[in-house]
Structure 1
Amino acid sequence: MVAHRPDALPPPRLVRREDAVELARLYRRQRAYLAPWEPDRADRFFTEEGQLAEIDGVLSRHAREEALPLVVAHPDGSLIGRVTLSGIVRGAFQSCSVGYWIAEEHAGRGHATRALRWAVTMAFDELGLHRVQAEAVPENLASHRVLTRAGFRRIGLAPQYLHIDGAWRDHVLYQRLRGG
């Protein structure tokens, strides 16, 4: 018999419009923590209305099978992060990118690794994708460790890949392949 871990996360679930209030609060609390790793965000993003707009947009992409936007919940049900499969491309490519974050007060406990593994399993088993790509700025050592623990392999460096924290930043590229 396997003992239940009290800190074990439930699987990530699809984001819902009802999450807007809690996500707005969570993003406001995590704003400074996430700033070095995320695009610049207008103040509206951190409001309930801004989160409703974000959720509506990503659910629209989900309906077109272009994204899988998930929330990560603590065992007590409160939201502690996000993991999103985006840029889903079919045809010969069968690929997507994944982005994720866990609230600072929950970091370092394996939650990001577990959420990322679940998302990758969904990408391969439910969506039938062949490849999942992830990117991290070179300085984000915690993210590099999460990606490695989740089975991603480094595949290169993309100069000036994304506009993050006010500048075009290099990113280390990682991937996971189905069955590999």
Structure 2
Amino acid sequence: MKIYAKRIYIRRLQMDDADQLLELLIRNKSFLQPLEPLRQESYYTLEWQKESLEKVQYDWEHDVGYGFGIYLNNGRLIGRVNISNISRGAWESCTIGYLLDEPLNGQGFMTEAVASAVHYCFNDAGLHRVQSAVMPHNAASIRVLEKVGFRYEGFAEYYLKINGNWEHHNIYSMTREYWKPQSRILN
């Protein structure tokens, strides 16, 4: 299953994506470090990435998360969109996180990928709410969420441990009630 946007598509990450995923993460190590939890050196090995892809498969099969790769139309992996912390029942909610190859930032690829993933959450996975937490100084990520239609909900102090420090985050969400077809973004 592929979800197509204007210039990219997203699809479930597979075990055969391990090499491309590792290359992407190594290439972007210094770029991503200030935006992610601290990583052990073993994170940047093929073995670790294969284990992480096994977890992606488990999460899909058990409906607790959806790990998507972001691909250019030529099949090159350029990023990830992760739907995690899925809660069913009265909440029907999840969180979304994402990363993109640094040279491709600022060109709208991530906006297309996030819109595609939200489309999946509401139209295929039957979720009601998608939430994201973004450090206030991460203007590029905030722009992505706002372009897709996420709404600012509030400020969370010391919310996530990023690069070894507890960081404040802005909380954004999209609910089914506010989701609008993204025809200008999606195919």
Match of 1:4 in 2: none
For 2:75 and 2:6, the matched residues in 1 are separated by 12
* TM-fit CA distance, 1:10: 3.2
Is 2:101 aligned against 1:103?
A: yes
For the residue of structure 1 that corresponds to 2:8, the secondary structure is coil
For the residue of structure 1 that corresponds to 2:51, the secondary structure is helix
The counterpart of 1:89, out of the listed 87, 90, 98, is: 87
Task: Write the letter of the residue equivalent to 2:153.
Answer: I
Task: Write the letter of the residue equivalent to 2:157.
Answer: P
For 2:23 and 2:162, the matched residues in 1 are separated by 22
Instruction: Provide runs of 4+ in structure 1 moved above 3 Å.
Output: none
Cα deviations by residue, 1:29-67 (Å, 9 ceiling, x for unpaired):
001111111111111111111100111112211111000
For the residue of structure 1 that corresponds to 2:28, the secondary structure is helix
For 1:39 and 1:82, the matched residues in 2 are separated by 16
| Identity %, equivalent residues | 37
For 2:7 and 2:98, the matched residues in 1 are separated by 15
Is 2:12 aligned against 1:9?
A: no
TM-score by length of 1: 0.94
Runs of at least 5 residues in structure 1 that lack an aligned partner in the other structure: 1-6
For 2:41 and 2:13, the matched residues in 1 are separated by 21
Match of 1:65 in 2: 63
Report if the CA contact (8 A) 1:95-1:130 is conserved.
Answer: yes
Task: Write the letter of the residue equivalent to 1:139.
Answer: H
Report if the CA contact (8 A) 2:8-2:109 is conserved.
Answer: no
Report if the CA contact (8 A) 1:138-1:171 is conserved.
Answer: yes
For the residue of structure 1 that corresponds to 2:106, the secondary structure is coil
Cα deviations by residue, 1:86-121 (Å, 9 ceiling, x for unpaired):
011000000000001111111111000000000000
Report if the CA contact (8 A) 1:58-1:69 is conserved.
Answer: yes
For 2:9 and 2:93, the matched residues in 1 are separated by 22
* TM-fit CA distance, 1:133: 0.1
CA RMSD in angstroms comes to: 1.1
The counterpart of 2:177, out of the listed 165, 174, 179, is: 179
The counterpart of 1:158, out of the listed 147, 152, 156, is: 156
Query: Across the two proteins, how many residue pairs are aligned to each other?
Result: 174
Q: How does 1:27-176 map to 2 (within 5 A)?
A: 27-176=25-174
For the residue of structure 1 that corresponds to 2:73, the secondary structure is coil
